[in-house]
Structure 1
Amino acid sequence: MPFISVTVTEGRSDEQLRRLITELTEATVRAIDAPKQNVRVVIHEVPETHWAAGDVTIQERKAKAND
């Protein structure tokens, strides 16, 4: 039973997240011949203030890019 866990920042529409689930499921079925009903997908949404690289949050990077 394939289990796919994806972490993204908040702000995507329900339609975008639904499309992501579909694409990941279909790719898994094609890649490893898994039965579609056995593919599990979980999406974790994280605020931009809770995701950082190099001690700079995504929100801080976006703010600096807009200056």
Structure 2
Amino acid sequence: MPFVTITTWKSDDDTAAERLMSAVTRAVHDATGAPLDKIAVVISEIPKSRWSEADVLATDPAFPTLSRRMSYEKDPT
């Protein structure tokens, strides 16, 4: 039984979540042949205040740039 977990930022867009789960279910079915009633998809939503990349909180206005840094010593290029 395929069990897919998607971890993403918290969103209030239920329609987008439904589209995502449907698309993932179809992709798993097409790729594996698993019956639909054996495919589970779960979306785990994390608030931006509890998400960091490269030691930068997702709530930081500079997150798109700073989260790409490779070390503490230099800015991302």
Q: TM-score range by the shorter chain?
A: 0.7 to 0.9
Q: Which residue of 1 aligns with 2:36?
A: 36
Amino acid at match of 2:18: R
Q: Which residue of 2 aligns with 1:56?
A: 56
C-alpha RMSD of the superposition: 1.2
Number of matched residues?
A: 63
1: CA distance between counterparts of 2:12 and 2:57? 18
1: CA distance between counterparts of 2:30 and 2:62? 41
2: CA distance between counterparts of 1:53 and 1:59? 11
Q: Which runs of 4+ in 1 moved over 4 A?
A: none
TM-score normalized by the length of structure 1: 0.87
Relative contact order higher in (CA < 8 Å, ≥ 6 apart): 1
Compare 50-59 and 18-27 and name the one that shifted more.
50-59
Amino acid at match of 2:19: R
Listed as ranges, the gaps of 5+ residues in structure 1 are none
2: CA distance between counterparts of 1:11 and 1:42? 14
Q: Which residue of 1 aligns with 2:3?
A: 3
**Larger Rg over CA atoms:** 2
Q: Which residue of 1 aligns with 2:73?
A: none
- Deviation for aligned residue 1:54: 1.2
- Deviation for aligned residue 1:12: 4.6
TM-score normalized by the length of structure 2: 0.76
Amino acid at match of 1:18: E
2: CA distance between counterparts of 1:57 and 1:64? 9
